[in-house]
Amino acid sequence: MEKFEDYGKSFLEYLQIEKNASPYTVKFYLQDLESFFSFISREGVNSFDAVDYQMVRIYLTMLYEQKLSRRSVSRKISSLRSFFRFLEREQKVESNPFVNVTLPKASQPVPEFLYKEELKQLFSVSDISTPTGQRNQAILELMYATGIRVSECIGLSIEDIDFYLGTILVTGKGRKERYIPFGRFAETALQQYINHGRLVLSEHTDKHTSKLFLNHRGAPITAKGIAYILEKLVEQAALTINIHPHKLRHTFATHMLNEGADLRAVQELLGHEHLSTTQIYTHVTKDHLRNIYMNSHPRSGKQKK
């Protein structure tokens, strides 16, 4: 059988250069491929061209027996479909055995979000007299103000912020750039952090970086670092909630739609390629609108106090 190394490098270049895939996407694609290669090796398959639809069905059965989520199975199918499409293009196989495989329909749970009262408590706990407190406040304000992903947040540099226009330049998935506005609260927090807290943190190392958010050692902060900061803020606020960076993104989208923002505008702000991805937040806003209707319409049938 052809070795993974024979095709891994060229497929990796294909993902990075032609598909503009993120490092996270590349990482998971390669994991999925390695898992499949192990499977076909155990099955005694000697070449990629020998992989047929029946072999794919056996592989899918194995995945379900491992009790993987539908989302994980869908991702693996997508990864392998892309790989065999690449092999087709390179004329290494005659057909793609994954082309007719149906992706399992994934359930779409309603995204969790923070209520305004919870946010108010979170915004009040950082000690903004300290460098790390100023940084934490700036992270919290900016992520809620813009709905950016944590990967986009840690990628920000100082020059990506335009205080005159009140926007940030974000590099999202597929290296696509977009401008996102931010408001007065985020501006105040960012100005204080950049002019004071960040200067102090940057003195803890002799390595220069233009990255916006720094850890206590003066190095660029990581995604895990931001997750840890948010968990500590929740503890300080004495809130009984689970929080993760993406929850602030969910909160941004939900609050924007609840206040009447256009769905396509929110799609653009979030950097979603497809409108259907943004539409998951309408499940929340529909409940919100129903409550408004039931509490406001004279003929809703709900007895008013």
Residue 201: Cβ within 10 Å count: 22
Distances from the Cα of 167 to the Cαs of 98, 228, 229, 241, 286, in angstroms? 43, 26, 24, 30, 30
* Helix, coil or strand: residue 203: coil
- Given phi > 0 = left and psi -120 to 50 = alpha, else beta, which region is 218? left
Say whether 246 is catalytic: yes
Annotated catalytic residue 249: yes
Look at the alpha carbons of 238, 143, 244, 257 in this order and tell me if their dihedral is positive or negative.
positive
Candidate list 81, 198, 255, 272, residue with the active-site label = 272
Q: What does 36-82 look like in DSSP terms, one character per residue?
A: HHHHHHHTT--SGGG--HHHHHHHHHHHHHTT--HHHHHHHHHHHHH
Integer angstrom CA distances of residue 227 from 19, 140, 160, 194: 29, 11, 22, 21
Tell me which of 173, 178, 196, 211 is the catalytic residue: 173
The DSSP 8-state label assigned to residue 167 in this structure reads E
- Given the residues 92, 211, 246, 247, the one annotated as active site: 246
Which of 149, 198, 250, 255 does the annotation list as catalytic? 149
Contact 150, 141 (CB under 8 A): no
Q: Among 14, 59, 144, 281, which one carries the catalytic annotation?
A: 281
Structure tokens belonging to residue 214: 């720094």
- Of the listed 81, 198, 249, 250, which one is catalytic? 249
Q: Is 149 a catalytic residue?
A: yes
What DSSP string describes 264-287?
HHHHHHHT-SSHHHHGGGHHHHHH
Query: Annotated catalytic, 281?
Result: yes
Q: What backbone phi and psi angles, to 5 degrees, belong to 95?
A: -150, 165
Distance CA 274, CA 109 (A): 18
Q: Which positions are annotated as active-site residues?
A: 149, 173, 246, 249, 272, 281
